[in-house]
Amino acid sequence: MAAPRIVGSETEYGLTVQNDPDFDSIATSLLLVNSYSSVQSLRLLWDYDQEDPLVDARGFELDEEYDVPDQQDNMAINKVLPNGARFYVDHAHPEFSTPECSNVFDLLRYEKAGERILNLSRMSANQHLPSGRTILVYKNNSDQKGNSYGYHENYLMDRRTPFQTIAEQLMPFLVTRQIFCGAGKVGAENGTDPVPYQISQRADFFETEIGLDTMVKRPIINTRDEPHANRDRFRRLHVIVGDANMSEYTTYLKVGTTLVVLQMIEDGALALNLTLDNPVQALRAISHDPTCKITVALKDGRKMTAIDIQRCFHEAACRYLERHGPCHPTFPQIVAEWGSVLERLATDPMQLHREIDWVMKLHLLLHYMERRGSDWDDPRIAMMDLQYHDIRPEKGLYYVLERSGGARRLLTEADIQRAIDDPPEDTRAYFRGQCLKKFRQQVFGVNWDSISFNLGDGPIKRIMMEDPTRGTKQHVQELLDRSQTAAELIANLVS
C-alpha cells in the first residue's frame, strides 16, 4: 500500500517598491520577512545541517559547494512560524513554505494563510519606507522581463517505488495538467514563439525533461532527493513545474489530482502508454493554445490533446477507486471534480470562468477589451495580468472577483485565519508549532525533521522527527501538557 499522503507547497513571491528608482529586491525581501510581527521576538536558527540539496534521486550526489549562511544571516533570512510554516528569503524573493499537511484542504488553508501573512508583513514593512513608497507583492511566476520564480509542491512517497517509474508515469500527467491548473499569462517569454495569451506562467521556462537544478535548465521532473524524513522509508517528490494559483479551486484540483495519481503509481495501478515524444515541446505547445485543441506527439506515433491524455488518467483513477475504495476520504470528490472540469474544457473552457485561474483571467481580459474596444497590445492588459496576482485583498483583481461572486470558494475566511496561527493537528508540524509557542525562548534551531533546544547548561539537545505522520496532537499533547520547560520535555521523551 502507498505511503501516507503528506503534502506541502513553497511559494516564491514577486515584489517591487512603487516610486523607488533604486529598488533592491534582496533588501526588500529581508525587510518583508523581518516585519512579520508575530515572530519579532523569536530568535532561532534554521538547521542547515539537516539539509542536503545536492543528492540526486538517480543515485549520485553533485560534487559542488552548498553555501550555508552564517548565524547572523541565518536569523535574518529565516523565520519559523508557530503554525509550523517557514517564511524566509530565497535568493531575491520572499518565500513561504506551508507546514506538512495530510490532505488537500489543509494544504489549501495554509497556502492561503501564506498570502495573508505576506500581506501583513507588507503593511508592517511599508511603515519603514520613505513617504510615497509602497511594497507590492504578487503571487505569480514571471516578472515579464525574462525572469521566472518558483512554486513547488512536495509529496511524501514510499522509498521502495523506483524513481524512474515515478518519472516515466508522471511526466505526461504533469505536462498536460496545466489545462486545469495554469495561472494564465499575457504574452510569451524565454525566446518562445509569440502568443497573445497562454495557459501557464511557467511553461516557457522549462528546458529539459529531468534534472536537479531549479533555476537554470529547469527540468519538468526534478530529481532532488532530500526527503526531510527517514531516508530509508521515504522520498520527497519535489514538483517544480506548477504555477502559483490564486483560485482556491485551481489549487485544490492541481494538488488533489496529483495526490491521486501518485497513489496509483505507488500501488502499481497505473499502466498507461502515454510517453510523450518531446515533453518540453509539448509543455509549451499546450500552454500556447487556450482552446485546448492542439495535439502533441507520443513516442508510439499517436497524437493526442491534453484533454485526451488527462481523460486517460481520470479513467484510470475511476477504475482505481472502484477496485480499491476511496483510499483517502477526499479522493472520490477530487476525481468527480476532475472529470467535470475535463468535460467543460472539452466543450468550452470559458465555462470555467469561476474556477480555473487561466480561464478566470482570460474572461476578465476579454470583457475589458470588448468594453474598451482595445486589443492585446493595450498596455493596460499587461497591467491587469499582473494585478490579478496582487495579494492585497482590497486591490488584487482576483479578490475583486472573489468579492463579487466571480470566484468559486472552498474555504471560509475563518478557515484561513486559524491557519495563520495554529499548526495542523495531524502531522509533525503540530509538535514543531506547539514547541515554538510553549518553549520559544529555549528553541535553538529548527528544520522540517528536527528541533533543537538550548537548555542553558550542556550541549544543544536535538529531537529528531523523521516520520511526518508522527508528532501529531494525538501523539504528543499529553507529553506537552506535562512538560512545563524544554528540559522537562527532553527528560519526559527519554524516560
Q: What is the pLDDT of residues 223-250, one digit of tens each?
A: 999 999 999 999 999 999 999 999 999 9
Catalytic residue among 20, 52, 56, 90: 90
Residue 41 has pLDDT above 50, yes or no: no
Which pLDDT value is given to residue 37? 79
Kindly report the CA angle at 144 between 140 and 148, in degrees rounded to 5? 55
> Three cell numbers at 138?
504578487
Residue 39 pLDDT more than 60?
A: no
Q: Name the nearest CA neighbour of 333 among 393, 418, 253.
A: 253
Mean pLDDT of 54-79: 73
- Pick from 35, 246, 31: nearest CA to 138: 246
pLDDT at 144 (0 to 100): 85
pLDDT-derived band at 50 (thresholds 50, 70, 90) equals low
**Residue 345 pLDDT grade (very low, low, confident, very high; cuts 50, 70, 90):** very high
pLDDT value, residue 263: 96
Percentages (nearest 5) of helix, strand, coil residues in the chain = 40, 20, 40
Q: For residues 322 and 315, give the distance between their C-alpha atoms in angstroms, rounded to a whole number.
A: 11
Q: What pLDDT is stored for residue 60 in this prediction? A: 59
Does residue 59 have a pLDDT over 90? Answer: no
Q: Are 46 and 78 in contact (CB under 8 A)?
A: yes
174 vs 90: CA distance, rounded Å = 25
For residue 207, pLDDT beyond 80: yes
Model confidence at 91, pLDDT cuts 50, 70, 90, reads confident
Output the DSSP codes for 384-422: HHHHTTB--TTT-HHHHHHHTT-S---S-HHHHHHHHHS
For 287-290, the CB contacts below 8 A with 24+ separation are: 287/178, 287/182, 287/198, 287/199, 287/200, 287/203, 287/204, 288/188, 288/192, 288/193, 288/195, 288/198, 288/199, 288/203, 289/199, 290/197, 290/198, 290/199, 290/349, 290/358, 290/362
Is residue 90 among the annotated active site residues?
yes
Whether 166 contacts 238, CB under 8 Å? no
Instruction: Give the C-alpha separation, 36 to 420, whole Å.
Output: 12
**Other beta carbons within 10 Å of 68:** 11
Q: Which domains does the chain have, with CATH numbers?
A: 7-417 (3.30.590), 420-494 (no CATH)
Q: Is the pLDDT of residue 421 over 50?
A: yes
pLDDT tens across 317-326, in order?
Answer: 999 999 988 7
Tell me: the pLDDT tens digits for 269-312?
998 999 999 999 999 999 999 999 999 999 999 999 999 999 99
- Give the list of residues 6+ apart from residue 47 with CB closer than 8 angstroms, or none: 445, 446, 447, 450, 452
C-alpha–C-alpha distance, residues 312 and 304, integer Å: 11
- How many residues are there in the chain? 495
* 473-493: average pLDDT: 96
Using 50, 70 and 90 to split pLDDT, how confident is the model at 42?
A: low
Note the pLDDT of residue 70: 76
pLDDT at residue 61 in the model: 66
pLDDT for 1:
47
Res. 44 pLDDT band, cuts 50 70 90: confident
Q: How many CB atoms lie within 10 A of CB 195?
A: 18
Residue 431 has pLDDT above 70, yes or no: yes
Quick check: 335 pLDDT over 60? yes
**What pLDDT is stored for residue 68 in this prediction?**
72
Mean of the pLDDT values across residues 442-470?
94
pLDDT of residue 3: 56
Strands of 59-140, DSSP E: 60-61, 78-80, 86-90, 93-97, 134-138
Q: Please indicate whether residue 325 or residue 161 has the higher confidence score (pLDDT).
A: 161
Per-residue model confidence (pLDDT) at position 466: 96
Cα separation of 186 and 384, whole Å? 10
- Predicted local distance difference test score (pLDDT) of residue 38: 60
Q: Read off the pLDDT of each residue in 173-188 and give the average, rounded to a whole number.
A: 98
Average pLDDT, the chain: 93
Angle at which helices 331-347 and 248-266 cross, to 10°:
120
Q: Do residues 172 and 309 make contact, with C-beta atoms less than 8 angstroms apart?
A: yes
Given this model, what pLDDT does residue 308 score?
Answer: 98
> Measuring CA to CA, which residue among 74, 80, 77, 78 is closest to residue 98?
80
Q: What average pLDDT does range 388-413 have in this prediction?
A: 97
Q: What is the mean pLDDT of residues 39-57?
A: 70
Closest CA to 22 of 133, 143, 142, 144: 133
If you ran DSSP here, which 8-state letter would residue 360 be given?
H
